[in-house]
Amino acid sequence: MRREANEEVMRIILILIASLALAPAAIAEVYKWVDSNGKVHYGDTPPANARATPVDMTSSGPSRAGQVPATAAAEQASQPPAQPPIQISIAPETPAPQPATRGMDFGVYIMLRVGMSEGELLGIAGEPDLRRRSRATDIYTYLPTAADPFTTTITLVRGRVNEIDRDRKF
């Protein structure tokens, strides 16, 4: 069994070596020629009616892809654009309106208790003004309003109310 595995590995290595040895022969020659209208063409077979020169395909430094040769750039600059440029205007985004601070009324506060679920809390008090989340802890903050000058902070651990804190801010 081990001998068969070694023979298979050797066969794969020989195929890879043969592939690498034949790779340069697979690269086709590329030719460049200019037609009667002055347009430059490239191809793997030269035309019979034009003088073609082989193109050097070896790397000669960093790529200059996307750069226009100086002669082509001058030729493009002398020609008028085929179509007028398209102008796009984008209206600035208006910031989303901030929801009004809801706060928490004292009548709601006295219905809260440690141990209640997050669903019960949201059902009684509604969505908080601020919500901070960490791994197993959520902190809901109900900000003070003119009618109720208290900040109520509720800490939930694993979806259950763990602590309720109410401080006067005004």
> pLDDT by residue (tens digit) across 34-61?
887 878 877 777 777 778 788 776 655 5
Q: What's the pLDDT score for residue 113?
A: 93
Q: Point out the least confidently predicted range of 76-85, 87-96, 120-129.
A: 76-85
Report whether pLDDT(152) > 80: yes
Q: CATH 3.40.630.10: does it fit domain 106-168?
A: no
Q: What's the pLDDT score for residue 170?
A: 63
Written as six digits, the tokens of 155 are: 């800490």
The strand ranges marked E within 110-159 are 130-133, 137-142, 150-157
Report whether pLDDT(79) > 70: no
Cβ-contact 152, 164 below 8 angstroms: yes
Report whether pLDDT(65) > 70: no
Please provide the DSSP assignment of 55-107 as one string: ---S--SS--TTPPPHHHHHHHHHSPPSSPPP----PPPPPPPPPPP----HH
Q: What's the pLDDT score for residue 95?
A: 73
Domains of the chain, residue spans: 2-56, 106-168
Q: What's the pLDDT score for residue 2?
A: 67
Hey, how many other C-beta atoms are within 10 angstroms of the C-beta on 153?
Answer: 17
